Structure 1
Amino acid sequence: MTGRIAACRFGVIMLRIFWWTTLIATIALIASLTTILTVGWPATWVDGWPIWTIALIAVIIIESIIFWIGIITVYATSVQLGIKIRVIGVLCGWIPVANLIALRLIIRTVGEEVRFESAKEQLDRSRAGARICATRYPVLLVHGVFFRDTKALNYWGRIPAELQRNGAVIYYGNHQSAASVADSARELTERIRQIVAQTGCGKVNVIAHSKGGLDMRYAIARCGAAPYVASLTTINTPHHGCGFADYLLEKIPLAAQRQVETAYNTAASHLGDKQPDFMAAVHDLTQAGCARLNVEIGDRNEISGHVSDTGPFAGIVCQSIGSRLAHATTGKFPLNFTYPLVKWFDGPNDGLVAQPSFPWGEHFTWLEPNGTRGISHADMIDLNRENIPGFDVREFYVQIVAALKQRGL
């Protein structure tokens, strides 16, 4: 058990001790006070109140110590509490009854986190010797639009660490956050050549999310990356574009678009992008933009069921994955707002990209929602570090890479 999970477990134990001992002590104090006042047992009020008062003060002090140790520990170490539950705990902390409900929510949430993470650690230990993700070629993770590869906030959440624990060698695209598909493709091609030259690995297995999938398809077909790519797995990539993006560009005044573009490009430049191009990235994500790109790329979008032996992707294992949310309310901001728009224009979607736009390559995997939750565009890269009931995103990627290893890649 890691230090963080051990601390979470300790915090939950302390809160459970607080819950039950406070309940028992409260009942005992009320019962003793009642007997003292009504029947004068075990002492009259005159003789018994000092002892009862001391007992009350002792209970308050001891329970306060137990509570604050527990709550500070879980607040400091839990990932699954998130901002919302933490705020609920603070706001309800001084409201009778509501504070008990909030405390039960905190205990249950962190308790489930401890159980889930402990099971994952046990699973990883049991298969450590197998190194099921130790592929022949290293894995290159390619991010989507409006994000960068940074150490402070990993775009891929807890996924890279889980892959590495199971034997994978991981690299990142390190391309700009917003650029045209063609420009991003050129950056990624150079990055792949750099990795191959430095490591002698020969090729890479690429896993690309969102626009990153379009960038990599273009890199392979038009920028010379094909000889260095063993496989390409696209995750929730809009291969046929996003219809609501076409609509927004049509309805939003050009002046407003330019203001947003200027603001974004300025901020992105300060964060490290050399030549950010907000509008070029957006236009390439429209249905019209993707139709043009698909012609330029020149591959066949339909699911083939086998590795292509002709065309720009000859000999490269190509597969795609897509998911959908069940309801707008189950998505995190801003996907809870965009989901209804995308649904109106394009149908079932992940909050940004609709189902018809996902399929590409020799095989397509469609992830259906579990219960009422669903799986969003952000969930597919563990952006929120959320343990989703019925969908272990980290294990999902482990199995993707393990399957590549089984194919000799």
Structure 2
Amino acid sequence: MLRNATTQYPILLVHGLFGFDRIGNVELFHDVKQALRTAGARVFIPQLSATHCNEARGEQLLAQIDRVLEGTGVDQVNLIGHSQGALATRYAAAVEPEIIASVTSVSGPNHGSELADFLRKALTPGRLPEHVASTVATLFANFLSLLSGQPDLPQNAIAALNALTTEGVGAFNDKYPQGLPKTWGGKGREVVNGVRYYSWSGTLQGGLVDQGLDALDPLHGFLQAFSHYFTTEAEQNDGLVGRYSSHLGKVIRSDYPLDHLDSLSQTAGPLRKGIDPIDLYVQHAERLRKAGL
């Protein structure tokens, strides 16, 4: 079936923590980007710091949005942010809503991550474990930036961790509440300051048969292990972000059978209950097109 995702405004796919555009032949959003372009969308991948606070990454995003606007001649863009990328897109829309047509959060920690809370408590501020973890994470982020051709991007692993905790995101939300639900687990306003807000996410579900090839994926195994550190959203998380913590604006669905990385790119998704993670992005682009965006 011929798909039509020819949106009025370009789509920017915004990566989260430890994300990148391209390293060698590896592109983080490769499958998503190709599917969207095949369906007619104009797609760009901004490169943000792999580790930093939400505001710093949001400012980097705004600078790259300006370049997209100048290069394409349009006056707005559609932002789709995965994980911490969702917080950068929210910042951009709150600060300069006139250039943002829509914000879509995909597995975004819009109320913080319980895993980040656990790590923050485990890494006592100012003590050696925090220093070692910060140094290792920052060196890794700098290495990613170098390989991706963006060596000048600043990195700050502890700022990123603090920005993803429940407390850190709570402070962020106090300043930038656009699209947030008024009640836990609810939906937020779909349009704020002319910007449309959407979200979707998944949860870890089922046994080995339901998980398909994901059961053999070591990254999926790590996410399964991480999920045990959740208490408020125990059994209602994707390994890194809780289901209800992800809610923003119009909640398309928050319980797809997808782990945190499945929602970024296609792995074994089609083998589990017929969900194709890549097609979710194409469906959403079609949704944006029908909304005149």
**Shorter-chain TM-score tier:** 0.7 to 0.9
Q: Is structure 2 residue 56 aligned with structure 1 residue 183?
A: yes
Of the three residues 264, 282, 287, the one matched with 2:137 is 264
Larger Cα-atom Rg: 1
What's the secondary structure of 2:201's corresponding residue?
Answer: strand
User: Within the alignment, does 1:351 sit opposite 2:234 as a pair?
Assistant: no
Q: Deviations over 1:308-328 (max 9, x none)?
A: 3xxxx3111101101111158
**Alpha-carbon distance, 1:368 to partner:** 3.6
Residue 387 (structure 1) shift = 4.2
Structure-2 change in CA distance of 1:235 and 1:300 (3 Å):
closer
Query: What is the match of residue 134 of structure 1?
Result: 6
Amino acid at match of 1:147: G
3-state DSSP of counterpart to 1:380: coil
Confirm or deny that 1:407 pairs with 2:278: no
SS at match of 2:287: helix
Percent sequence identity over aligned pairs: 26
Partner residue of 2:17 out of 138, 145, 165: 145
Structure 1's 183 and 328: CA in aligned 2 closer, same or farther, altered over 3 A?
A: farther
> What does the per-residue CA deviation read over 1:88-125, in whole Å, with 9 as the maximum and x for residues that have no partner?
xxxxxxxxxxxxxxxxxxxxxxxxxxxxxxxxxxx3xx
Deviations 1:23-56 (A, max 9, x none): xxxxxxxxxxxxxxxxxxxxxxxxxxxxxxxxxx
Distance in 2 separating the partners of 1:402 and 1:388: 24
**Distance across 2 between alignment mates of 1:364 and 1:166:** 20
Q: Which structure 1 residue ranges, 4+ long, deviate > 6 Å from structure 2?
A: none
Q: Deviations over 1:197-235 (max 9, x none)?
A: 11111111111100000111112213x3x1111111110
Look up the equivalent residue of 1:337 and give its one-letter code. Answer: F
Question: Is 1:194 the equivalent of 2:67?
Answer: yes
The 5 Å alignment of 1:284-299 reads: 284-299=163-178
Distance 1:395 1:242, change over 3 A: same
Match status 1:162 vs 2:35: yes
Residue aligning to 1:109: none
* CA 1:248–1:328: 2 relative to 1, 3 Å: farther
Going by fraction, where is strand more abundant, 1 or 2?
2
1:394 alignment partner in structure 2 = 278
Distance in 2 separating the partners of 1:249 and 1:305: 28
- The AA in structure 2 aligned to 1:133 is A
1:272-287 map, 5 Å: 272-273=150-151, 274-287=153-166
Q: Is the Cα–Cα contact under 8 Å of residues 12 and 46 in structure 2 kept in the other structure?
A: yes
- Return 5+ residue gaps in structure 1 as ranges: 1-122, 370-374
Question: What's the TM-score once normalised by structure 2's chain length?
Answer: 0.85
d(CA) in 2 for partners of 1:367 and 1:243? 17
Aligned-residue offset at 1:239: 0.5
1:378 aligns with 2:261: yes
Partners of 1:282 and 1:293 in 2: how far apart?
13
| Larger RCO (alpha carbons 8 Å, 6+ apart) | 2
Root-mean-square deviation over aligned CA pairs: 2.2
CA contact (8 A) 2:224 2:239 kept: yes
CA distance in 2, matches of 1:163, 1:184: 24
2:203 corresponds to: 324
> What TM-score results when the alignment is normalised by the length of structure 1?
0.62
Q: Within the alignment, does 1:342 sit opposite 2:227 as a pair? A: yes
Name the aligned partner's letter for residue 137 of structure 1. Y
Alpha-carbon deviation of 1:336? 2.1
Looking at structure 2, the residues matched to 301 and 173 of structure 1 have their Cα atoms a distance apart, in angstroms, of 24
CA contact (8 A) 2:243 2:255 kept: no
Partner of 1:88: none
Deviation at 1:148, TM superposition (A): 0.9
- Within 5 Å, which residues of 2 pair with 1:78-117? none
